[in-house]
Amino acid sequence: MRAAIFDGVGKPLRCGTLPDPTPEGADVVVKVNRCGICGSDLHISEDPIFGVPAGAVLGHEYSGEVVAVGPEARRVRVGARVCVLPIRSCCQCPSCLIGEAAWCTGMSIVGGGYGQYTLAHESQCQLLPQTLSLADGALVEPLAVALHGVNVSGMVAGARVLVIGAGPIGLATAFWARRLGATTVAVTASSNRRAELARHLGATHFIDPAHCTPAEVNAALRGAPDIVFECVGKPGLIQKSVEHVRPRGTVVVLGLCTAPDTLSPFLTVTKEVRIQPAALYHMRDFQICADVLDSGDVAPQAMVTDTVSLTDLPTAFEQLKSRTHQCKVLVDPWRAG
Ligand SMILES: [Zn+2]
Ligand SMILES: [Zn+2]
């Protein structure tokens, strides 16, 4: 099969040929239909902190069709249309048994979506509704990240929300916050180029970065935000979130910053700000995202700005590391070219 292979930190992806996978145990082979390029894949290729070995195939936002199953697979059959929770886990501990593989002590994050076929354990597979396209199925993973973030925020209907960042996770967070009852959702980012997209996804306001002061945000939201979602992952932004949030409000940290950061304990403590990190998702989040897309709420499709072949993937991947007009780029590993 063809795949884009990771050759190590600091090196571009390389298109090559790998043996077709064969399923053992309760593993299944997924014929990948679409895989999203994620910001964390870009990080993995630049930062040794992730520890991904050379020779791996990245790509964890994928959907496809099951074309072979191992002898112990019971739940997933050949022909099933699935998206895949990209987490291998023990499948036996209390966390795994309730769909929380993300918090299994033996978990590891696995990719494989940048290849024509990949292996997954059947417990990782979320069956997709028959009426949902596999292209939409590839949006389930990033939507689930944001849904989990909104869930752990404790947001209630009527909330005022500020989202920092207008990448796919920031946009998806605005989508869920509005859909789950926030009355006002302001998005801000380092430029204005995603303003329209943010409104399309559900933001009520887009704050120009040149004027993103607490006074400006509070005027737009008609009060200080109850919850600030930090969806960028750069140093200084947790502090900025603390400055914006109302006293006793919540800052949800979805951005994955790998550099040391500073935070004013004085401001955080005196405002009694709750800082809530959010990473990954529950298996149930995958089902909810698939069902919401299937129900006809198609706004998240607007995040997809391009679909590329495996041949074009290494270039598209590098281009996403600098400021670009692209938002979510999908890979179709069967597309010629
Ligand atoms: Zn991702
Ligand atoms: Zn486990």
% of residues, the chain, pLDDT over 70: 100
Using the predicted structure, report yes or no on whether residue 263 has a pLDDT greater than 90: yes
Calculate how far, in angstroms, residue 62's C-alpha sits from the geometric centre of ligand 1: 10
Checking if the pLDDT of 152 tops 90, the result is yes
Q: Report the SS3 class of residue 18.
A: coil
User: How many angstroms separate the alpha carbon of residue 122 from the centre of ligand 2?
Assistant: 14
pLDDT tens per residue across span 109-123: 999 999 999 999 999
What domains are there in the chain, each with its CATH number? 2-138+298-331 (3.90.180.10), 143-277 (3.40.50.720)
| Ion ligand 2: residues, Cβ under 5 Å | 89-90, 93, 96, 104
pLDDT given at position 315: 96
pLDDT of residue 86: 97
**Ligand lying closest to the C-alpha of residue 36:** 1
Centre of ligand 1 from the C-alpha of residue 267, in Å: 32
Rounded Cα distance between 21 and 14, Å, is 19
Mean pLDDT along residues 64-69: 98
- Give the distance (Å) from ligand 1 centre to CA of residue 38: 5
DSSP state of 49: G
pLDDT tier at 143, thresholds 50, 70, 90 = very high
Cα distance between residue 225 and residue 212, in whole Å: 13
> Taking the CB of residue 1, how many other CB atoms lie within 10 A of it?
17
The rounded distance, in Å, linking the Cα atoms of 210 and 239 is 18
> Given this model, what pLDDT does residue 337 score?
79
- Residue 323: the pLDDT is 82
Q: Average model confidence (pLDDT) for the chain? A: 96
- 335 within 8 A of 146, measured Cβ to Cβ: no
Instruction: Among the bound ligands, name the one nearest to the CA of residue 100.
Output: 2
Q: Write out the two tokens for 73.
A: 């697979």
DSSP 83-134: EE--EE--S-SHHHHTT-GGG-TT-EE---TTBSEEEEEGGGEEEPPTTS-H
Question: In angstroms, what is the span from residue 60 Cα to ligand 1's centroid?
Answer: 6
Q: Tell me the ligand closest to 86's alpha carbon.
A: 1
Mean pLDDT of 262-289: 97
CA of 104 to the centre of ligand 2 (A): 4
Ligand nearest to the CA of 98: 2
